[in-house]
Amino acid sequence: MVALKIRQFGNSRGVILPKEELDRMQVDLGDTVYLTRAPGGSRLTPYDPDFEAQMDMARRVMKKRRNALRELAK
């Protein structure tokens, strides 16, 4: 567990994440992270849950329509 202090940044408030945690999350300056509600609190992740759901659906369609997509790719 890492304790983070809330700090003032201009008119906003935020926390500074340790470099080790950013490395573990595989994010860097300019990347976007998502704060989502989770059981018992919140979750910070580099993955957009809505995008992941869309990609899962796209994978299912591509698998189902594999032959049609092959023909279109010619």
Q: Residues 46, 33: contact at Cβ < 8 Å? A: yes
**pTM exceeds cut of 0.75:** no
Task: Note the pLDDT of residue 1.
Answer: 80
Task: Note the pLDDT of residue 16.
Answer: 93
Mean pLDDT confidence for 46-74: 86
At 48-61, the pLDDT tens digits run 777 778 888 888 98
Tokens describing residue 63:
């698998």
Task: Note the pLDDT of residue 19.
Answer: 94
Q: Which residue carries 């500074």 as its tokens?
A: 16
Domain residue ranges in the chain: 7-73
Q: Which residue carries 């580099």 as its tokens?
A: 46
Q: Say which CATH topology domain 7-73 has.
A: Pemi-like Protein 1; Chain: D (2.10.260)
**Positive/negative CA dihedral, 46, 49, 50, 55:** positive
